[in-house]
C-alpha cells in the first residue's frame, strides 16, 4: 500500500535545469511543491553528464593545449608538458558535486519536498513514486520536465565501450587513439575538441554539408576553417551505413567512401525526448510523431492540469530554454501570466573559439523575403583580441532594412558566449542596430567588435 501525501499545489517530474528551477520559482510564489527525480542527484543531464562536466573538461584541455602551443608567442618557454587524466576527471566531478549539493541546499531553503524514484502519472492529478518505498502524491497541477536522452543511429546500438554517447565520452579512462564523432553540432564539436587537444586523432562525420548546420552560414564557414586549422578532420555530406566492431575498435562504413577505423565512435547526432514510460500517454496525452509532448502557448498539455517544459516538448534543446520555460510556466500557474521570448534565445557552442548566436540567421530571413541589412566586423581589427592572441573570428549583426530593428547577432571568436549577452538584452527590448552602435563600449575590450559590427550595418565601422 502506497503512502499518501496530499495537498501539493504542484508536483514536478524531473529535476534538471527545467524542473529544479521551476520548483524554486514556484516555491518563491508561495506554492507547495514536490519534485520527483529518478536519479539520486539533482541537476539532470545538464549538470551531471552534459553542460557542466563538458565545460570543465573543455577548460582543462584548453589549458593543456595552451601550454603546448600557445605560450611561446608570449615569450613563455615551457618544457615538456604532460597531463593526468584522472586529475582532470576528478576536478570535473568535484565541480558537479558542488553544484548538485547546491541544488539540495536550495530545495531545503525553499521548503521543496524532494522524492527519489520513478514517477508515474495517474488519473486525478496523482503521481505514484516508486523508490525505496511507494508513495502517492496528489496535486492541483503536474509539470513534466523529463528532458531528453542521446539519440542513436538506426541499426547502431550504443554499447558504452566502443560506440558511446556523450555520457561515456565525458568519462573515458584513457585518451582514445582514434575517435570518430558522428554529428558536427555543438556536442560533437565540443567533445571532439576535448579529446583532440588531449591527443586523439578526431574525425567528425556529418550527414549535412556543413558544420553547425543550424548556425548562420558565415559562422559555419569560419568555424570549419578554424577547426581544420586546429587539426580536426571532417567528412561532410557523409552518410553512415553501419558501424561494426573491428578488433579492439570499430569500423565506420560510409556510403561512397572508404570506411573509417577508430578505437571509439561517439554518437552525437541529436537527442530524443523522454516522453514515455511515466503514464502520460496511457492517460491519453498527445505526443507528436517525433515523440515530443504537445503543449499550448502556456505549456499546458492536452490533459487538464498537466504541463510540460524543456527538451520533452521540442524546440531548441537548451538548458536555459528549459529554465526560462519552467519559470514562465509556474508564473502562469500562480499569476495567470508567463512569457518566454524565443526570438531572443541565445545559443552557444563552447569550442575555442566559441560560437554564439541569438535571433534569426541570414538564410532564414532571405527565405522569407524579409528585407535585411548586415554588418560584419572581424576580431583581427580589435586591439584586445590581438593582445589576447585570439583574433580569429567575427561579429555579424543583422537588422531589418526598413526599421533597423536587430533580428540576429552571430559571433565566432574569443569569449563569444559572454559577448552575446549584450545582444540578447538589446533584442529583448527591441533595439535597433543604431542603438547598439551608439552605446558606450569601453576601450580596449572585445565588446568593441560588437559595436563596430553594429556600426557597419550602416557601413560606418571606424576600424573596418
Residues acting as catalytic residues: 443
Burial 406-428 (b: 16+ CB within 10 A, else e): bbbbbbbbbbbbebbebbbebbe
What secondary structure, in 3-state letters, does 159-214 show? Answer: CCCCEECHHHHCCCCCCCCEEEEECCCHHHHHHHHHHHHCCCEEEEEECCCCCCCC
Nearest 5°: the CA angle 211, 213, 215 is 100
**In whole angstroms, how far apart are CA 232 and each of 222, 235, 304, 463?**
14, 10, 50, 32
Strands 306-308 and 346-349: what pairing? unpaired
Sign of the torsion angle spanned by Cα atoms 422, 323, 22, 124: positive
Which residue matches cell numbers 509539470?
A: 143
Give the separation between CA 273 and CA 232, rounded to whole angstroms. Answer: 30
Sign of the torsion angle spanned by Cα atoms 322, 325, 329, 331: positive
Contacts of 287 (CB under 8 A, 6+ apart): 275, 276, 280, 281, 293, 294
Cis check: omega of the bond before 353, within 30 degrees of 0 = yes
Give the separation between CA 281 and CA 237, rounded to whole angstroms. Answer: 37
Give the separation between CA 458 and CA 361, rounded to whole angstroms. Answer: 19
Phi, psi of 183 (to 5 degrees): 115, 120
Which residue matches cell numbers 573538461?
A: 57
Burial label for 133, CB within 10 Å (0-12, 13-18, 19+), is exposed
Burial label for 324, CB within 10 Å (0-12, 13-18, 19+), is buried
Amino acid at each position: 500500500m502506497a503512502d499518501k501525501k496530499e495537498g501539493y499545489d504542484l508536483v514536478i517530474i524531473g529535476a534538471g535545469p527545467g524542473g529544479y528551477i521551476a520548483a524554486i520559482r514556484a516555491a518563491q510564489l508561495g506554492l507547495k511543491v514536490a519534485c520527483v527525480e529518478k536519479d539520486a542527484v539533482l541537476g539532470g543531464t545538464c549538470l551531471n553528464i552534459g553542460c557542466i562536466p563538458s565545460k570543465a573538461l573543455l577548460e582543462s584541455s584548453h589549458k593543456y593545449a595552451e601550454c603546448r602551443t600557445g605560450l611561446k608567442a608570449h615569450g613563455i618557454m615551457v618544457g615538456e608538458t604532460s597531463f593526468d587524466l584522472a586529475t582532470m576527471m576528478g576536478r570535473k566531478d568535484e565541480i558537479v558535486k558542488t553544484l548538485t549539493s547546491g541544488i539540495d541546499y536550495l530545495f531545503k531553503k525553499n521548503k521543496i519536498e524532494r522524492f527519489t524514484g520513478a514517477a508515474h502519472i495517474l488519473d486525478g492529478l496523482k503521481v505514484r513514486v516508486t523508490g525505496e518505498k511507494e508513495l502517492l502524491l496528489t496535486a492541483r497541477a503536474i509539470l513534466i520536465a523529463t528532458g531528453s536522452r542521446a539519440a542513436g543511429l538506426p541499426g547502431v546500438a550504443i554499447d558504452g565501450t566502443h560506440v558511446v554517447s556523450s555520457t561515456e565520452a565525458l568519462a573515458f579512462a584513457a585518451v582514445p587513439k582514434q575517435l570518430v564523432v558522428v554529428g558536427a553540432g555543438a556536442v560533437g564539436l565540443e567533445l571532439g575538441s576535448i579529446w583532440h587537444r588531449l591527443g586523439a586523432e578526431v574525425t567528425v562525420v556529418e550527414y549535412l554539408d556543413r558544420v553547425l548546420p543550424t548556425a548562420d552560414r558565415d559562422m559555419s564557414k569560419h568555424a570549419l576553417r578554424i577547426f581544420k586549422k586546429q587539426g580536426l578532420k571532417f567528412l561532410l555530406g557523409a552518410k553512415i551505413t553501419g558501424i561494426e566492431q573491428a578488433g579492439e575498435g570499430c569500423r565506420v562504413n560510409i556510403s561512397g567512401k572508404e570506411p573509417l577505423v577508430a578505437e571509439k565512435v561517439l554518437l552525437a547526432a541529436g537527442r530524443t525526448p523522454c516522453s514515455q514510460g511515466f503514464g502520460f500517454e496511457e492517460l491519453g496525452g498527445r505526443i507528436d510523431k517525433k515523440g515530443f509532448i504537445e503543449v499550448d502557448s502556456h505549456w499546458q498539455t492536452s490533459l487538464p492540469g498537466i504541463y510540460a517544459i524543456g527538451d520533452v516538448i521540442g524546440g531548441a534543446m537548451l538548458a536555459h530554454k528549459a529554465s526560462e520555460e519552467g519559470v514562465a510556466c509556474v508564473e502562469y500557474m500562480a499569476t495567470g501570466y508567463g512569457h518566454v521570448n524565443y526570438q531572443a534565445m541565445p545559443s552557444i557552442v563552447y569550442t575555442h573559439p566559441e560560437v554564439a548566436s541569438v535571433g534569426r540567421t541570414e538564410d532564414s530571413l532571405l527565405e522569407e523575403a524579409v528585407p535585411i541589412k548586415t554588418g560584419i566586423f572581424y576580431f583581427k581589427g580589435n586591439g584586445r583580441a590581438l593582445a589576447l592572441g585570439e583574433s580569429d573570428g567575427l561579429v555579424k549583426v543583422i537588422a531589418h532594412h526598413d526599421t533597423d530593428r536587430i533580428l540576429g547577432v552571430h559571433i565566432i571568436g574569443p569569449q563569444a558566449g559572454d559577448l552575446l549577452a549584450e545582444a540578447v538584452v538589446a533584442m529583448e527590448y527591441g533595439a535597433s542596430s543604431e542603438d547598439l552602435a551608439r552605446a558606450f563600449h569601453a576601450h580596449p575590450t572585445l565588446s568593441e567588435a560588437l559595436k563596430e559590427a553594429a556600426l557597419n550595418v550602416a557601413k560606418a565601422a571606424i576600424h573596418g
